[in-house]
Amino acid sequence: MFGFGSPDPVSLVAILFAFAVGITVHEFCHAWSALMLGDDTAERQGRVTLNPLSHLDPVGSIGVLLIAVAGFGVGWGRPVPVNPNRVRWRQRGLAVTAIAGPASNLVIATLFAVPLAIVDTAQLNPDVVSIATYMVLVNILLTAFNMIPVPPLDGHKILVGILPNFWYPYLAPLERYGIAILLVLIMSGFLFGGGILREMYLPVFESLLGVLLPEPPIDG
């Protein structure tokens, strides 16, 4: 999709750069929003920063590289610690800190999509166009993927936060099994060739892409 998988060197660098920026801003916004809501746990761990080294996970970064080179895989940044007992408004506050991440990626995608829509890209350096396009694509991908309502993704925290309090005791404990649930979904996709996670985020991805970048300047 749009050059993901065995890309040329410029595309490879553009994809990796876009992921580095997207993940860094995503995790920073989690940490900053938690601090604004009264929880300084992330701040005390040095996470309220735009330094990529504070947010990129070694194993997750390998996953990002796999996406860029092979066109499939799952990458992630270091999870931001949030203490639910210190966050204002409890589960509602947790939902705010959760949505701050994907919302930041949507803002980044929009900031790069607007110039691509109003400027004649044929008159620009192709490498610049490639970088800007992948900034849009990758950040739309981060937005859509993280909105999946499955723990430990942000969508689950948002769902728990917006549903009536009745559901909290049933949904919140699933967080402790989040990694296992995500791994089962990933492995089921590999084993049965379905790509369950892909089907869960693709409608949101395509909808956002249709709005922000209806005619991608690079080939799909």
Question: Which residues are the active-site residues?
Answer: 27
- Give pairs for 56-64: CB < 8 Å, separation 24+: 56/20, 56/23, 56/24, 60/23, 64/16, 64/19, 64/23
- In the chain, the N- to C-terminal Cα span, in Å, equals 6
Q: CA separation (Å) from 52 to 21, 81, 123, 146, 161?
A: 8, 16, 32, 19, 28
Look up residue 182 and give its two tokens. 């995500």
DSSP state of 77: B
Alpha carbons 57 and 17: distance in angstroms, whole number: 15
Look up residue 22 and give its two tokens. 């997207």
Residue 219 carries which side chain, given as an amino acid letter?
Answer: D
